[in-house]
Amino acid sequence: MVCTTVRQGFECTFMNKTGCQFNGGRCHPVVEQCDGCHRTIEIPTGKYCMSFPEPAAKWKHGVCNMATHIKTSNTTGNNRVNPLKASKRSR
């Protein structure tokens, strides 16, 4: 449904006929770590994330997995092992 609280006019999965069902009944503004991310939007009610209603929670345990401004480097190259194939190889 379309948001009728802080992100008015934007489609949101937390909205229903009785209002916003997210914790607190509204989206929370972005945090400092979100600066530069392409998922932020600035609207008259403030700066919000287009993907998450509570950006602070995405940074609570490390880097936000949806951040567009943070590049993660795989220093070991593409050496991911499929556990199913690995178990077959060991036979």
Contact residue for ligand SF4 among 7, 12, 37, 53 (CB under 6 A): 37
Residue 53 touches ligand SF4, criterion: CB under 6 A = no
The nearer residue to ligand SF4, 2 or 57, going by C-beta atoms, is 57
Q: How far is CA 2 from CA 6, 26, 39, 79, in A?
A: 11, 13, 18, 43
Residue 27 touches ligand SF4, criterion: CB under 6 A = no
In the complex, what is the shortest distance from the CB of residue 32 to ligand SF4, in angstroms, rounded to a whole number? 10
Residue 36 Rama label (left phi>0; alpha psi -120 to 50; beta): left
